[in-house]
């Protein structure tokens, strides 16, 4: 509401200006709100009683009441300004805001919207989580299903023997993940493995029950893990798991002498190895899948009162010598409430970002993600505002500067807000926002139509585990297009341009936040954000506690 109060206050004027310029400029091409390609275009229009016309500061040709000049458009919002001096020496101008660039159809997913990496530090944390999940309680609880692990009879049934594993013990294991081209090497080291069994049966007519034990200084299990993406989901597969029992030893000294202990020992050893392999097969792939999937930043939020759903899906996985690289596509859902249309959202040739390979977790967010969100919000009508004294949404006090008691204010954005990088800095841009004020019966007049183009520097910050966009003071370029308020358009433009706090119009950008990627169950120690050298990505770096 403060925004509109400033507009109205700036428009108050008792008498028309006496020194009305007699010249007139019309900028017919490009029109305000047009979508153009990037590069040089022709700007042309009518010049009535105007000499020395310039277009964006470059002299244009003037012939028989028309002018034409060239202007180079940069990607994003551009203001094309024709300026001249009329016969009375007054400077007059006209401005149109246009969009320039390549446009992506606002259909389907935003491809390569986010890149994420789990580097050495992150893989170490995954290993620490796995360490706590492999324990003796789990293994010992499954012994009932495998016992007896051995049973046999020989020497015409004079020897009958069976063996049950009574307990398995070991010290805290370690899980090490070693990334290499195409696969994630896994090494599980289980120190001080000890297996206590009970052998029982009959030998030469006598019953026996004897302890049999096995030990190894460590059990080392190795395998390769493969991670892939399909239909937005991750899949983790594990190759063959090999087991190496270091310093393997056994004690069968309490068995009767007629027992062939080597068969018993080999069977128990094979059973223990199989149990360990089963544990790794059952535990590691689902755990790695769950932890990597927890990096998915999908979330729901609100922008200017409307719900916004951001759904990400994994589209590609690459394992290199530094870690695991994940690529995610984005699907944006915003309930449509507006009727805006355009060739598409402002796109960029993304290429591959330079994602940090040293932070525990790192990533890069594409400008295409942000611009698709802003486009959907614009197309959904989030910036369309109508205020009226009739329905109570507009206070009559707001119209007091215009000496009116009733009226309407309608805001219509002809172009979607965009995020672009200009001269090495991220910038939020708002183009050709029309502000239409109608005051029937107003003492000063009944109509004012202005167009706004505004540009604000964006600082990328990290706060409370989220990436946020912090907006600087906007640079405003404004044009009063129509006015019955008793002053020339150029005078009204100069007044309003100095008076209005247009940062309120950038709240759609300023409300944006993005959760930093973090592995499930872990907390962020530090986070940082920076612009990628590509000019179209914002980089993220996360250190885990």
Q: What is the mean pLDDT of residues 463-483?
A: 83
Q: What is the mean pLDDT of residues 107-116?
A: 89
* Per-residue confidence (pLDDT) for residue 231, from 0 to 100: 93
The chain-wide mean pLDDT, for the chain, equals 85
> Same structural domain for residues 130 and 77?
no
* Per-residue confidence (pLDDT) for residue 20, from 0 to 100: 46
pLDDT tens digits, residue range 169-217?
Answer: 999 999 999 999 999 999 999 999 999 999 998 887 889 999 999 999 9
Nearest-angstrom CA–CA distance, 119 and 295: 13
Long-range pairs of 349-355 with CB within 8 A, sequence gap ≥ 24:
349/102, 349/536, 350/112, 350/534, 350/536, 350/537, 351/534, 351/536, 352/115, 353/115, 353/532, 353/534, 353/537, 353/539, 354/532, 354/533, 354/534, 354/539, 355/115, 355/116, 355/117, 355/325, 355/539
> Same structural domain for residues 263 and 285?
yes
Q: Residue 9's domain is classified under what CATH number?
A: 2.60.40.10
Q: What is the mean pLDDT of residues 471-492?
A: 74
Phi then psi for residue 262, to 5 deg, are -65, -35
Q: Residue 308's domain is classified under what CATH number?
A: 3.15.20.10
Where is pLDDT greater, at 146 or 496?
Answer: 146
Q: What is the mean pLDDT of residues 406-416?
A: 89
Residues 6+ apart with CB under 8 A from 63: none
Residue 500 pLDDT level (bands cut at 50, 70, 90): very low
DSSP label at residue 359: S
Give 329's strand partners: 313
DSSP label at residue 224: E
Nearest-angstrom CA–CA distance, 453 and 442: 27
Its pTM stands at 0.82
Predicted confidence (pLDDT) at residue 265 exceeds the cutoff of 80: yes
The rounded percent of the chain whose pLDDT value lies above 70 is 88
- Per-range mean pLDDT, top range of 247-251, 262-266, 510-514: 247-251
> Same structural domain for residues 304 and 286?
no
* Per-residue confidence (pLDDT) for residue 305, from 0 to 100: 64
* Per-residue confidence (pLDDT) for residue 11, from 0 to 100: 46
Predicted confidence (pLDDT) at residue 541 exceeds the cutoff of 70: yes
**68, 102, 136: which is the final residue of a domain?**
102
pLDDT tens digits, residue range 235-244?
Answer: 999 999 999 9
> Same structural domain for residues 505 and 403?
yes
* Per-residue confidence (pLDDT) for residue 17, from 0 to 100: 41
Predicted confidence (pLDDT) at residue 261 exceeds the cutoff of 90: no
Residue 315 has which token pair? 């589209």
**45, 67, 102: which is the final residue of a domain?**
102
- Per-range mean pLDDT, top range of 10-19, 262-271, 316-325: 316-325
Residue 290 has which token pair? 């769950």
> Same structural domain for residues 216 and 284?
yes
> Same structural domain for residues 271 and 416?
no
> Same structural domain for residues 450 and 308?
yes
pLDDT tens digits, residue range 66-92?
Answer: 999 999 999 999 999 999 988 778 888
> Same structural domain for residues 98 and 154?
no
> Same structural domain for residues 508 and 407?
yes
Predicted confidence (pLDDT) at residue 6 exceeds the cutoff of 60: no
pLDDT tens digits, residue range 440-466?
Answer: 988 878 888 888 898 988 888 888 888
Which structural domain range is residue 529 located in?
106-117+297-544
| Residues across the chain | 545
Residue 286 pLDDT level (bands cut at 50, 70, 90): very high
Predicted confidence (pLDDT) at residue 292 exceeds the cutoff of 90: yes
* Per-residue confidence (pLDDT) for residue 356, from 0 to 100: 92
Q: What is the mean pLDDT of residues 11-27?
A: 58
Predicted confidence (pLDDT) at residue 390 exceeds the cutoff of 70: yes
The rounded percent of the chain whose pLDDT value lies above 90 is 44
Domain count, the chain: 3
Q: What is the largest CA-CA distance in the chain?
A: 131
Exposed/middle/buried for residue 39 (C-beta within 10 Å: 0-12, 13-18, 19+) = exposed
Residue 154 pLDDT level (bands cut at 50, 70, 90): confident
Do residues 448 and 437 make contact, with C-beta atoms less than 8 angstroms apart? yes
* Per-residue confidence (pLDDT) for residue 489, from 0 to 100: 54
Which helix (H) or strand (E) segment holds residue 79: the answer is strand 76-86
* Per-residue confidence (pLDDT) for residue 508, from 0 to 100: 60
> Same structural domain for residues 477 and 396?
yes
> Same structural domain for residues 394 and 438?
yes
Q: Residue 178's domain is classified under what CATH number?
A: 3.15.10.10
Nearest-angstrom CA–CA distance, 53 and 66: 10
Describe the crossing of helices 2-11 and 489-499 by its angle, rounded to 10 degrees.
140
Predicted confidence (pLDDT) at residue 395 exceeds the cutoff of 70: yes
**67, 102, 137: which is the final residue of a domain?**
102
Concatenated DSSP letters of 6-69: HHHHHH--SS--SS----EEEEEESPTT-EE-SEEEEEEEEEESEEEEEETTEE-EEETTEEEE
* Per-residue confidence (pLDDT) for residue 196, from 0 to 100: 95
Describe the crossing of helices 120-131 and 261-293 by its angle, rounded to 10 degrees.
130
> Same structural domain for residues 178 and 71?
no
Q: How many CB atoms lie within 10 A of CB 163?
A: 24
Three-class SS state of 280 = helix
* Per-residue confidence (pLDDT) for residue 345, from 0 to 100: 93
* Per-residue confidence (pLDDT) for residue 308, from 0 to 100: 75
């Amino acid at each position: 509401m403060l925004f509109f109060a400033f507009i109205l206050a700036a428009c108050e004027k008792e008498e028309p200006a006496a020194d009305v310029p007699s010249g007139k400029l019309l900028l017919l091409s490009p029109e305000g709100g047009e979508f153009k390609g990037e590069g040089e275009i022709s700007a042309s229009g009518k010049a009535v009683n105007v000499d020395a016309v310039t277009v964006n500061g470059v002299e244009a040709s003037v012939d028989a009441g028309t002018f034409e000049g060239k202007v180079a458009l940069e990607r994003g919002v551009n203001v094309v300004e024709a300026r001249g001096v009329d016969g009375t020496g007054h400077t007059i101008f006209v401005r149109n805001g246009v969009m320039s660039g390549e446009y992506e159809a606002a259909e389907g997913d935003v491809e390569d919207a986010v890149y994420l990496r789990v580097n050495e530090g992150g893989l170490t944390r995954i290993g620490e989580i796995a360490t706590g999940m492999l324990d003796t309680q789990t293994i010992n609880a499954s012994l009932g299903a495998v016992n007896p692990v051995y049973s046999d009879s020989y020497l015409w049934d004079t020897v009958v023997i069976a063996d049950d594993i009574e307990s398995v013990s070991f010290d805290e294991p370690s899980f090490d993940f070693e990334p290499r081209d195409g696969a994630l090497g896994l090494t599980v080291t289980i120190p001080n493995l000890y297996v206590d069994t009970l052998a029982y049966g009959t030998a030469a007519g006598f019953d026996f029950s004897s302890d049999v034990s096995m030990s190894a200084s460590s059990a080392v299990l190795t395998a390769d893990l493969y991670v892939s993406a399909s239909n937005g989901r991750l899949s983790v597969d594990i190759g063959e798991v090999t087991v190496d029992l270091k310093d393997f030893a056994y004690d069968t000294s309490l068995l009767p002498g007629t027992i062939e202990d080597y068969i018993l020992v080999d069977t128990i050893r094979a059973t223990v190895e199989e149990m360990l392999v089963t544990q790794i097969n059952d535990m590691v792939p689902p755990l790695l899948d769950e932890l990597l999937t927890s990096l998915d930043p999908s979330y729901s939020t609100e922008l200017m009162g409307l719900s916004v759903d951001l759904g990400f899906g994994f589209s590609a996985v690459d394992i290199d010598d530094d870690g695991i690289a994940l690529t995610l596509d984005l699907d944006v859902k915003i309930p449509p409430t507006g009727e805006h249309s355009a060739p598409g959202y402002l796109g960029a040739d993304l290429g591959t970002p330079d994602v940090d390979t040293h932070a525990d977790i790192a990533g890069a967010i594409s400008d295409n993600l942000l611009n698709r969100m802003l486009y959907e919000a614009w197309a959904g009508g989030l910036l369309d505002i109508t205020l009226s004294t009739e329905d109570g949404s507009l206070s009559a006090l707001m119209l007091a500067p215009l000496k009116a008691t009733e009226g309407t204010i309608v805001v219509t954005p002809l172009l979607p807000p965009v995020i672009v990088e200009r001269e090495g800095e991220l910038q939020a841009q708002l183009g050709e926002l029309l502000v239409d004020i109608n005051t029937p019966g107003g003492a000063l007049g009944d109509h004012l139509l202005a167009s706004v183009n505004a540009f604000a520097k964006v600082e990328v910050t990290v706060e409370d585990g989220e990436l946020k966009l912090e907006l600087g003071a906007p640079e405003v370029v404004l044009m009063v297009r129509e006015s019955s308020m008793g002053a020339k358009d150029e005078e009204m433009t100069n007044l309003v341009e100095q008076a209005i706090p247009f940062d309120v119009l950038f709240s759609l950008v300023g409300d944006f936040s993005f959760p930093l990627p973090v592995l499930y169950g872990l907390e962020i120690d530090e986070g940082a954000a920076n612009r990628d050298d590509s000019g179209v990505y914002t980089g993220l770096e996360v250190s885990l506690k």
